[in-house]
Amino acid sequence: MLYLVYHIRLTDAAASDPEAFWSWARDREQWFYEGLDTVLATRWTVRTIGADVHTIEHTVTFADEAAWGRYRRQVSERGRDPAWERRRVEQGRWWQLIDASLHDDPPVPLGFDRLPGLGSGGTDH
């Protein structure tokens, strides 16, 4: 598996109205990922200890690099639609991207999951 991990800092607008932010984030996730069939799962976590407390990590899971490449092409194609791109850049009201990174599974099976069904942050999408 390949994991695209975004590290996000909330804007003052999001921090001052978290209910509105999370509502917008739920709507955006459904809108943004609709039809992007190479995305196998998404996960959202909030840092609660360490550097950048209260920042968000958003992980997007792909089967492999080819699937990630197809995702990038699909997003690029959608970005050519002015209405889609206007909606996409609304994210600037709510967050600032700190960085993004790609992660891959180790060459041997490691880890366990005692919480089946929570791979998508506890929701079924």
Kindly state the percentage of the chain with pLDDT values over 70.
94
The letter for the amino acid at 105 is: D
Which pTM was predicted? 0.86
pLDDT-derived band of residue 25, with 50, 70 and 90 as boundaries? very high
The letter for the amino acid at 10 is: L
95-104 and 41-46: which strand pairing?
A: unpaired
The letter for the amino acid at 1 is: M
pLDDT at residue 51 in the model: 85
What domains are defined for the chain? Answer: 2-103 (3.30.70.100)
Q: At a CB cut-off of 8 Å and minimum separation 6, what does 66 contact?
A: none
- Residue 77: exposure state from Cβ atoms within 10 A (0-12, 13-18, ≥19): exposed
Model confidence pLDDT, tens digit, residues 52-67: 899 999 999 999 999 9
39 contacts 61 by C-beta, under 8 angstroms: yes
Distant-in-sequence contacts of 107-110, Cβ < 8 A, 24+ apart: none
* CA nearest to 74, candidates 94, 60, 95, 55: 60
pLDDT-derived band of residue 116, with 50, 70 and 90 as boundaries? confident
Mean pLDDT of 66-70: 97
